[in-house]
Amino acid sequence: MALSPVTAPASQAARASREAAPRLPPHRRLAPPVPDATTVTADRLLDTARTFAVVGASADPSRPSHGVMATLIDHGYEVIPVTPTVDAVLGRTAYPDLASIPGDVEVDVVDIFRRSDRAGAHVDEAIERGAAAVWLQLGVIDEAAGERAETAGLDVVMDRCPAIELRRRVRRVA
């Protein structure tokens, strides 16, 4: 004796509902969302960059910059800590500013962990250094600095975190 839809267990009712639902033809199915320009830029940088200079790096494991550095290292990127407060972070030599990084070291992305009101000076340092891109962390927004970077030919990612973007990409692939 078949159970009525009202008394059928939830799994049977759900299966019956799916089976009764009309199948949309392929051209009517929902396409995956189109990524915004910042996501496209972030993905391109994560695909092509090899070296990140992390401005505002911290040796304190409880600080977000420390965790992001560790994540970047775990994903195979070379990471250069930029901080005037310590000599090394995660076993890597730290530099007090971008200008102190040896000139023969190519910096692809300058990742900025500084307050928005201080980010612009570091964007200007990245432009002067010849970096390919600047990445301003979550909550770090300086539109004028971003415009200066874009005018100078740098890629700009603002108000995003590379560690979060790397996790998003893993979920998307899975």
pLDDT tens digit string along 24-83?
Answer: 555 555 656 667 899 999 999 999 999 999 999 999 999 999 999 999 999 999 999 999
Does residue 92 contact residue 59 with C-beta atoms inside 8 Å? no
Q: Say what the pTM is.
A: 0.79
Distance separating alpha carbons of residues 159 and 36, to the nearest angstrom: 13
Tell me: the pLDDT tens digits for 76-134? Answer: 999 999 999 999 999 999 999 999 999 999 999 999 999 999 999 999 999 999 999 99
CA 92/CA 84 separation, integer angstroms: 14
pLDDT confidence of residue 36: 86
Of 2-6, 10-14, 67-71, give the lowest mean pLDDT range: 2-6
Whether the Cβ atoms of residue 106 and residue 131 lie closer than 8 Å to each other: no
* 8 pLDDT above the threshold of 50: no
Reply yes or no on whether the pLDDT at 172 is more than 60: no
Q: Which fold has domain 37-173?
A: Rossmann fold (3.40.50)
How many angstroms separate the CA atoms of 113 and 78, rounded?
Answer: 17
Quick one: pLDDT at residue 35? 77
Check: CB of residue 112 under 8 Å from CB of residue 140: yes
pLDDT mean across residues, the chain: 87
Q: Write down the pLDDT at residue 169.
A: 83
